[in-house]
Amino acid sequence: MSTVTDHAHHEDDHHHHAPSGIKRWLFTTNHKDIGTLYLWFAFIMFLTGGAMAMVIRAELFQPGLQIVDPHFFNQMTTVHGLIMVFGAVMPAFTGLANWLVPMMIGAPDMALPRMNNWSFWILPFAFTILLASLFMEGGGPAFGWTFYAPLSTTYSGDTTALFVFSVHIMGISSIMGAINVIVTIFNMRAPGMTWMKMPLFVWTWLITAFLLIAVMPVLAGVVTMVLTDKFFGTSFFDAAGGGDPVMFQHIFWFFGHPEVYIMILPAFGIISAIVPTFSRKKLFGYASMVYATTSIALLSFIVWAHHMFTTGMPVAAELFFMLATMLISVPTGVKVFNWVATMWRGSLTFEVPMLFALAFIVLFTIGGLSGLMLAIVPVDFQYHDTYFVVAHFHYVLVTGAIFSIMAAVYYWLPKWTGKMFDITLAKWHFWCSLISVNVLFFPMHFIGLAGMPRRIPDYALQFADFNKWISIGGFAFGLSQLLFLWLLIKACRKEGEPVSDQVWEGAEGLEWEIPSPAPYHTFETPPVIK
Amino acid sequence: MKKTMSGAVAFLTGILAFPAIAESTSQLDQYQLNLTKGVTDISAEVYDLHMLMFIICVVIAVAVFGVMFYSMVFHRKSKGAKPANFHESVKVEIAWTVVPFIILIFMAIPAAQTLIAMEDSSSPDVSVLVTGSQWKWHYKYMDSDVEFFSVLATQPEQIANKFEKGINYLLEVDRPLVIPTGKKVRFLVTSDDVIHSWWVPDFAVKKDANPGFINEAWTKVNEPGIYRGQCAELCGKDHGFMPVVVIAKEPAEYEAWIAEQQDIQRRAKEEEQKLLAMNMEMGELMEVGERVYLATCAACHMPNGEGLPGAFPALKGSDMALNDMQAHIDIVVNGKAGTSMQAFGKQLSLKELAAVITYERNAWGNNTGETVQAKDVNALVTGQ
């Protein structure tokens, strides 16, 4: 990925003197370079957050406290969540958007290239601040990634200020990235690239970008209220001063629920690109996919309180949020049915991106179905805050969002580097990940139903055996990702067989019509779309 | 711990027979796979609802994955499959929008009925105020003056892997809540500090304890027994160590128990009054103080009195513990607003307060040599 320029230089030298070395990356305004930076950053964060998950699983390997104390354990669960959400999944999707959106709509670059540089380069600072707080007196944030007040205000450590500032920076970065995507898609489509001709990845990202602009300011607001409650004597969330701790949860989840769709809509776009390619058949219902994505995005604004059924809401509110949440499964089902109908009577082959896409469809659907169960308020009282919930959201985020990111990387990597990746290694990576991820997350359904609460460093004896299995699955899944690291390093060193422009038989779209590897500058003259 | 082989077998059969196996309450069930049916009518309804949802989800999954796997097997390029050219079908698309919608309606109706029944906490027979605080529960019976704290009873040595773990490891408390069977018991749930969540799976009751607000929940237990649960909302460092234990007794036994508790509480108050006239010896104060300290204070200030820097202050060598006795008594009795330091005045007896303050002023090299007596504490409490 990183050496794409070598090829492009001789063509561009006459009008473009790109800096080399570290300055190339620091000052770059090229969407491909920035995409690469985002993707590597996300992968480093994925390994960092994963290392914290290993600490958690090591402590939970058997009952009793062995490795870490409960206070540090809480810091690990908190920072693991924050890093995976804001450091791994979201930047990875932004990286893919940077690489792909201009290439897919026939634009020469993102619309706002300098802001693009800025939105990436503030991210390392945000995460340095967050991670540094772990080493300070009192430790890092220990109140869960959802930072419920008053645990995060009156009862938190002084490093909460650093947590707040790092979340602010992440939010600013996301908003800038989202603005860039929207402006690019609205203004820079090639002539003839009408709305309903745009690839679904572009559509899903456009809708995601609107969600980001709508809810990231809400997150910024709620962390600021936490900051002023803790340090400046306000009482937004303190009943003693006229506030309400449950109001925190309403504001947080008004951000938080659209946030989970921010982390899955681009995945729908990716799967909708990969499945038709390897089925050699058009996507069954393009228009209904666009409408389904839009409905999911709109519904995501009226379901937030399904995270809060046990907080003591009125029955009418519980019924409303239950019904609205159940409704989301209709457009989500439309998507799954569409993918399956696309495969039906296709001509299927099972290259690595397709393997990840198929695993996504099955495992994401399992996560979706457990989500439907969680929507049913009376049983949610039993599921809420247990490992059943942990199983649910890891199925949709790990085997959902992260598997889709891996599928995307395998799908477009040959276009980026011009070389086919090491297929044997990739298949090892796939099968090891697939098996271990299910050993890791499937038994969590059982211990959750049997009554194990989440976010506890030690547990009752009846949960011991499943926890041991889960930890073994966790370590295996963690190690499997080192295969991915190795494969990516080889790919960036340009090892492998050269690929054709189309790369995959059956791949369609503008990005497959340009040379492989994609030149440093593409579509300086807009292509004509039939 | 079972052997790995039998574990593997149980694990596999477990996956194959997910809903079928779900029994046993009295002894440890290493492979409980499913939700409990519980011991109330509501919890049984919740279980049925859970199974209904589960079966519908399995049927949907089998149908969708069945079609998908059929394609994967029979529509392969390697088997010479030629791609068809169909796409977009309004009929199919309307069908797969409308059919799921109808299924959802069938799910929502029984769910709404159960929910409305669960949320109706009107006309209770007994009301208990349940107050969470870091990391213990307090129960107060609204119809009598019985009230007490309920704290984890598992020995720290078991948690630290020095002693063998007991069968109710982390699910045992010093004083369980006692409720009558066959009566509607209403729980008024609140908190003194952060948000906790009071959960007993066998009752299908989980309600958040929000500071400054009171939530209501109720149960009507059919069978006498001991029912165990845990705090379900992350509430800080020892969130994993604040279990809930409820004993359901026949109404007559329950009445007798309440009377006995009232008697015990009255006698304890009389004892306290006598104590005010006496001075306790340093040795006795230190002995009682150490016990109280380890049970009540050590979670934050640590058994060695060094605290957790940045989170919980050290007592060892602290200015207050070495010099300012009045401030020391005040902070233990009244707590410190805006911090995790609770008001222990209502949690501990005068004797225990005096002993633990004496202990803190004389342990770990804090050798002030001063004793604090019950009457010193009482003077501060009564404002003399």
What is the DSSP track for A239-261? Answer: GGGT--HHHHHHHHHHHHHHHHH
- The answer to whether A332 and A364 have CB atoms below 8 angstroms apart is no
Active site residue A272: yes
Tens digits of per-residue pLDDT, B242-298?
Answer: 999 999 999 999 999 999 999 998 898 888 888 787 888 888 899 999 999 988 888
| Catalytic, out of A427, A454, A455, A521 | A454
Percent of chain A surpassing pLDDT 90: 94
Tokens representing A271 are 């799967």
d(CA A138, CA A324): 41
Provide the strand spans (E) within chain B. 126-133, 136-141, 147-150, 177-180, 185-191, 196-200, 205-209, 215-219, 225-230, 243-249
Tokens representing A465 are 């055996």
Residues written for chain A: 530
| Stretch 257-296 of chain B: residues touching chain A, C-beta under 8 Å | none
| Stretch 287-346 of chain B: residues touching chain A, C-beta under 8 Å | 308-311, 338-340
∠ CA A89-A93-A99, rounded to 5°: 145
d(CA B197, CA B210): 8
Sheet of strand B185-191: strand arrangement: B147-150, B136-141, B126-133, B185-191, B215-219
Instruction: Report chain A's terminal Cα–Cα distance, integer Å.
Output: 31
Neighbours of B1 (CB within 10 A): 11
Residue B199's beta-bridge partner residues?
B206
pLDDT for position B88? 83
Q: Which residue has the tokens 């929940």?
A: B217
Q: Report DSSP letters for A270-286, one per residue.
A: HHHHHHHHHHTS--TTH
Cα-to-chain-centroid distance, residue B246: 11
- The answer to whether A382 and A448 have CB atoms below 8 angstroms apart is no
Active site residue A404: no
Q: Report DSSP letters for A431-467, one per residue.
A: HHHHHHHHHHHHHHHHHHHTTPBSS-SS--GGGHHHH
Q: Which strand (E) or helix (H) includes residue A124?
A: helix A123-132
Active site residue A109: yes
Q: What are phi and psi of B246, to 5 degrees?
A: -125, 130
Percent of chain A surpassing pLDDT 70: 97
Strands B126-133 and B185-191, sheet pairing: parallel
Tens digits of per-residue pLDDT, A475-528?
Answer: 999 999 999 999 999 999 999 999 999 999 999 999 999 999 999 999 999 998
Is the alpha carbon torsion for A308, A314, A318, A320 positive or negative? Answer: negative
Rounded to a whole number of angstroms, the distance from the CA of A141 to the nearest CA of chain B is 11
Note the ipTM here. Answer: 0.91
Tell me what the mean pLDDT of segment A439-446 comes to.
Answer: 97
For residue B62, what are the CA distances in angstroms to A354, A370, B106, B321? 21, 14, 19, 67
pLDDT for position B336? 86
Q: Is the pLDDT of residue B214 over 50?
A: yes
Show residues of chain A in contact with B159, CB under 8 Å: 64-65, 458
Strands B136-141 and B185-191, sheet pairing: unpaired
Show residues of chain A in contact with B219, CB under 8 Å: none
Cα-to-chain-centroid distance, residue B235: 10
Contact flag B116-A333 (C-beta cutoff 8 Å): no
SS3 of residue B281 by DSSP: coil
The verdict on B226 touching A (C-beta cutoff 8 Å) is no
Cα-to-chain-centroid distance, residue B328: 31
- The answer to whether B71 and B79 have CB atoms below 8 angstroms apart is no
d(CA B57, CA B98): 17
Half-sphere exposure of A481 (CA within 13 A, CB side): 20
d(CA A287, CA A334): 11
Return the DSSP state at A495.
-
pLDDT for position B32? 82
Tokens representing B278 are 């006496």
Tell me what the mean pLDDT of segment B120-127 comes to.
Answer: 94
Q: Is the pLDDT of residue B45 over 70?
A: yes
Q: Report DSSP letters for B308-352, one per residue.
A: BTTTB---TT-HHHHT-HHHHHHHHHH--TTSS---GGGTS-HHH
CB-based contacts of A340-343 (< 8 A; 24+ apart in sequence) = A340/B64, A340/B67, A340/B68, A340/B71, A341/A284, A341/A285, A341/B92, A342/A275, A342/A276, A342/A279, A342/A281, A342/A282, A342/A283, A342/A284, A342/B87, A343/A275, A343/A279, A343/A281, A343/B68, A343/B71, A343/B72, A343/B75
Which member of A144, A285, A443 has the closest CB to residue B234?
A144
pLDDT for position A461? 94
Q: Report DSSP letters for B106-146, one per residue.
A: HHHHHHHHHHHHHT---S-SEEEEEEEETTEEEEEETTSS-
Confidence of residue B13 (pLDDT cuts 50, 70, 90): very low
d(CA B213, CA A239): 8
Residue B179's beta-bridge partner residues?
B248
A431: left (phi over 0), alpha (psi -120 to 50) or beta: alpha
Q: Based on the number of CB atoms within 10 Å of its own CB, is A96 exposed (0-12), middle (13-18) or buried (19 or more)?
A: buried
Tens digits of per-residue pLDDT, A274-300?
Answer: 999 999 999 999 999 999 999 999 999
Instruction: Report chain B's terminal Cα–Cα distance, integer Å.
Output: 58
Confidence of residue B28 (pLDDT cuts 50, 70, 90): low
Q: Is the pLDDT of residue B2 over 50?
A: no
Q: Is the pLDDT of residue A9 over 60?
A: no
Tens digits of per-residue pLDDT, A183-225?
Answer: 999 999 999 999 999 999 999 999 999 999 999 999 999 999 9
Show residues of chain A in contact with B119, CB under 8 Å: 315, 318
Mean pLDDT for all residues in chain A:
94
Active site residue A332: yes
Show residues of chain A in contact with B50, CB under 8 Å: 373, 379, 382
Which member of B81, B104, B309 has the closest CB to residue A348?
B81
Question: Counting one residue from A and one from B, how many pairs have CB atoms under 8 Å apart?
Answer: 314
Tell me what the mean pLDDT of segment A359-384 comes to.
Answer: 97
Tens digits of per-residue pLDDT, A71-112?
Answer: 999 999 999 999 999 999 999 999 999 999 999 999 999 999
Q: Is the pLDDT of residue A17 over 80?
A: no
- The answer to whether B200 and B229 have CB atoms below 8 angstroms apart is yes
For residue A235, what are the CA distances in angstroms to A40, A141, A185, A244? 41, 20, 42, 8
The verdict on B205 touching A (C-beta cutoff 8 Å) is yes
Mean pLDDT for all residues in chain B:
88
Q: Is the pLDDT of residue B241 over 60?
A: yes
Percent of chain B surpassing pLDDT 70: 92
Tens digits of per-residue pLDDT, A269-278?
Answer: 999 999 999 9
Lowest mean pLDDT among A9-23, A64-78, A449-463, B42-56: A9-23
Q: What is the CA radius of gyration of chain B?
A: 28
